[in-house]
Chains A and B, each alone.
Chain A
Amino acid sequence: MSPTEQPTMSEYRRREQSITLAPVEEQLGALGDTGTDDSTHELLTLNFGPHHPATHGVLRLLVTLQGEIVRDVKPIIGYVHTGIEKTAEDKSYWKVIPVVERMDYLSYYFNAMAFCGAVETLLEVDVPKRAQYLRVIHLELNRIMSHLVWLGTSALDLGAISMFWYCFREREKILDLFEMSSGQRMHTRYFQVGGVIEDIPRGFAEKLRGFLAEMPSRVDQYRDMLNGNEIVLQRLRGTCPLDAGTLLSLGVTGPLLRAAGNPWDLRKADPYSSYDDFEFKIPVGTAGDNYDRFACRVAEMYESVKIVAQALDGLPEGPHITEDRKVALPPRHELATSMEALIHHFKLVTEGMRVPPGEVYFPIESPRGELGCFVRSDGSSKPARVHMRDPSFVNLQATAPMVKGAYIADLIATLAMLDPILGGIDR
């Protein structure tokens, strides 16, 4: 065959050459974000979830795509709605704690804290200092645990499977500590109205110190592993940013808001449970993109370790729960000797405590933002209304503004960085 002779092109070759490898924006041309010209590109509506590993639960999204570009996202929720708020109205106050713990199943101590805080405000009960410190220790351990699950599953979404095992290795150590102090690994029912159910057992402090000594170097490793990874950086840096003003109008709080540069943190702004006794910093971002959301949460883990260490070192002596016998169960040894203690025990276990009528909204800083518990009491021993303002539920509304105009791959990364917990969203 002479070189001048044109080889006849096969059908396959001709089709292959018609594929342009230019970026999608160029292919869309002047179309840009307006999406008005649909003569060449039609919109595709894609159902995403509810059973999809990247939705972190049973979240369903109706995604409208133009090529690979997300034009609209509509979240559909309610698949794990179990009516916990309704159930709570049928239980006496101290029996509500286990059910509200199951709302946001990764931050059970926070749910219990918000509920107990609201009831304590209604009762005007003072929580002893030691109980407040014990609460802080468990809250911050829970925050680290929640962030570890987020980090592991988010890295999994981005294609890094080993992070998942590393993060769950540290999480196990925290769950071991929870098991030691309360007997349960998850949904511990450790926080009670007026304090905590039991003092920490012997050996807990040593085990916790061991964990605290190890944890910062572990976070170093995780940070270095992901920060030095080109794929992770390309997936996160500069993708799906949203400014602080828009986030505030959407009610977004927590690490998502702090990543956009607003240092709002209820632990500092409006301290509860003795948070003003501890020194810690609030990590903030600058760009408000997915990378800042990632970096803020990783930096928060170091700060939480610092808070736990300070709370453990400064743990005051004293009772672990209020001495008010109308609220807290009497100690076991009193039951054998004191008739009054027996009566109090009987009244609390059968009827429960009566709470003065009123309404209280008690907000705390959960790993995902402002977790507020609204409790209305009608004076009986059961709450007339329990409502959780769950941060995941409110933050979910920011999904569409974040991902509009981004690639569908960035939708996955953004969803991971949003850290929604469907148990909390649906309640």
Chain B
Amino acid sequence: MPDATGLELIAQELRDAEGAGVVTDTLFFRDRATVTVQAMRIRAVLAHLRAQGYAFLASVHGVDYYPHEPRLGVHYELLDMSRVDRITVKVRVPSDAPEVESVTPDAADGPGWPTANHQEREVFDMFGVVFRGHPDLRRILMPEDYEGHPQRRDFPIGGEPVIFTYNEREAYPSGRTSGASTREGAGA
């Protein structure tokens, strides 16, 4: 881990390279370094840190900071394998415009991080964060026709009925389940 001074040095380098406004916050907590940056500059920030040796993107995950604003967060856990050094890059976006630059594809500004593909899809699925430029931004764990983003803090637990054969008609009144249509077909 970079120490508290090392984190400030990295933040200052980022400001020098990408403009003063790019870093919005730094945090050194429990020997772990976190730098918060602007959501639409994340590609440039990660590319800069990759050049510093943080070449492995270990994890991308979302957080809901409800009731704090900006509400949604995306964390990028970077790892430098030769120095065994980790740094967390964080972006925060409001829930009414949850847009983050996707780091997955290769683009004109440099190579992407293919590992982020499924992980960004999961964050989109669970939190509704839209990754601009993602090649295939679809739900990954929840069904395609699911409504809402279940990992948000205001999404209720148990708010959804469990579907059995006896109650599938009430749950899906439009009759779009295969079981309902088969039975109608058999009756006709």
Residues of A within 8 A of B (CB): 77-78, 81, 83, 85-87, 89-90, 121-122, 124, 248-252, 264, 269-270, 358-361, 363, 370, 372, 374, 376, 384-385, 387, 389, 393-394, 396-397, 426-427
Contact = CB atoms under 8 A, between A and B. Distances in A.
A269 B81 contact: yes
B58 A372 contact: yes
B77 interface: yes
Interface of B: 29-30, 32, 34, 55-59, 61-64, 75, 77, 81, 84, 86, 88, 111, 113-119, 122, 126, 139-143, 150-151, 153, 155, 157
A77 B118 CA distance: 10
- Most chain A CB neighbours (cut-off 10 Å) among B34, B88, B140: B140
Given A121-B30, A394-B118, A248 B56 contact: yes
Contact of B88 (A85, A124, A361): A361
List of 5 A-B pairs having minimum Cβ-Cβ separation, nearest first? A251-B115, A389-B59, A78-B141, A81-B141, A387-B61
A361 B151 contact: no
B157 A374 contact: no
Nearest to A427: B141
A398 B69 CA distance: 36
Contact of A374 (B61, B115, B139): B61
Given A78-B141, A121-B30, A361-B75, A251 B57 contact: yes
A250 B56 CA distance: 9
B141 A426 contact: yes
B30 A251 contact: no
Contact of B140 (A77, A270, A358, A387): A77
A77 B64 CA distance: 24
26 contacts: A77-B140, A78-B140, A81-B142, A87-B157, A90-B157, A121-B30, A122-B30, A124-B30, A248-B55, A249-B111, A264-B81, A270-B84, A358-B30, A359-B75, A360-B30, A360-B32, A363-B86, A370-B58, A374-B61, A374-B75, A385-B64, A387-B61, A387-B63, A389-B59, A393-B118, A397-B115
Nearest to B62: A387
B118 A397 contact: yes
B77 A389 contact: yes
Contacts of B122: 393
Contacts of A90: 157
Contacts of B61: 374, 387, 389
A269 B1 CA distance: 13
B80 to A, nearest CB: 11
Name the residue in B30, B62, B88, B153 with the highest tally of chain A Cβ atoms < 10 Å from its Cβ. Answer: B30
A394 B119 contact: yes
Nearest to A361: B77
A251 B56 contact: yes
A389 B29 contact: no
A78 B143 contact: yes
A280 B113 CA distance: 32
B114 to A, nearest CB: 5
A426 B140 CA distance: 9
A43 B174 CA distance: 36
Nearest to B146: A78
Nearest to A264: B81
B23 to A, nearest CB: 18
Contacts of B63: 359, 376, 385, 387
A399 to B, nearest CB: 11
Nearest to A268: B84
B148 to A, nearest CB: 12
B118 A396 contact: yes
A172 to B, nearest CB: 33
Contacts of A250: 114-115
B75 to A, nearest CB: 7
Contacts of A426: 141
Contacts of A397: 114-115, 117-118
A384 B62 CA distance: 12
Contacts of B86: 361, 363
Given A121-B30, A358-B29, 11 more contacts: A78-B140, A78-B143, A86-B151, A87-B157, A249-B115, A251-B115, A251-B116, A363-B58, A384-B153, A387-B62, A394-B115
B30 A361 contact: no
Contact of A269 (B32, B55, B84): B84
A66 to B, nearest CB: 22
Nearest to A401: B114
Contacts of A86: 150-151, 155, 157
A427 B141 CA distance: 9
From B34, B59, B118, name the one whose CB has the most chain A CB atoms within 10 angstroms. Answer: B59
Contact of B150 (A77, A83, A122): A83
Contacts of B30: 121-122, 124, 358, 360
